[in-house]
Structure 1
Amino acid sequence: MDKSFEEIMEGMKTGAPEEEKTDAEMPEYIVENGITYRREGDFYVPDLRAEEAIPERIGRYGRARLKFLRDNRPEEENRMILDGNINEILEQLNEEAENRIRELTTELERKNPAPDKMKHQLEWVAHMNMLKEQAIEIVMNEMIYV
């Protein structure tokens, strides 16, 4: 038989003993007001678990953003953790950063054409690496360190 809060309080005022339940009768988990509670001894505590960022899933640029948030904006990181969407946000940021780097590298190559790949292979590799590093630096300043 479930009692309301008022009935329990009334019983305490009158001195009527409340029925005690044994461990077997007390459920391990209960849900009240949309919040799950788990039993810890004789008490129920909210069963809150925050999702943590999974480095293998969030990629290079997601990890860089996570490090930036931890060092400079911990409240934003905590908000994402509590909202439970930190992995999705960082995965999406990583994908957008990689796409932006590809676009920027292509754009920079049009502005600064590379030497002939067949005649000057090492110069071509060095030039393409330089363009990619420039694109990465731009993306880091535009998307990660903001």
Structure 2
Amino acid sequence: MSGPQFIYHMHQLSKIVPPKREILKDISLSFYPGAKIGVVGANGSGKSSLLRIMAGLDTDIIGDAWAAKGTRISYLAQEPELDPNLDVRGNVELAVAETRALLTKFEEVNVKFGQVSNDQEMQALIAYVKSLSDG
């Protein structure tokens, strides 16, 4: 039986920004499932760039970087990325729209659970809820 597989891997990764400034040079790292990491460094040393690359938000790199299949990486920017055409409420509504839509679907399904008349309908609803949870 093989050992644990990496959930994230970077090999000889470099990042160059204009005008030819190398902010990451020859970075190699790997994480096992359950790893807890910290990224520490001086301002401008490439910490945010490294995290953006790990989250798949920056693919303009030299070298390899990949997450294992089924691994989800999220990134929270240091500075909020707001739509300048919206007011505060509009930006908040935009930020929670996906979660609100998912909650609405779950509420609709909960009502349907009370109306199920046979096992086939129940199994279909359970499968639908699972698809919402996994999505």
**Into which bin does the TM-score normalised by the smaller protein fall?**
under 0.3
Q: Which protein is bigger by CA-based radius of gyration?
A: 1
Q: Which has the higher contact order (CA 8 A, sep 6+)?
A: 2
Q: TM-score, normalised by structure 2?
A: 0.26
Q: TM-score, normalised by structure 1?
A: 0.25
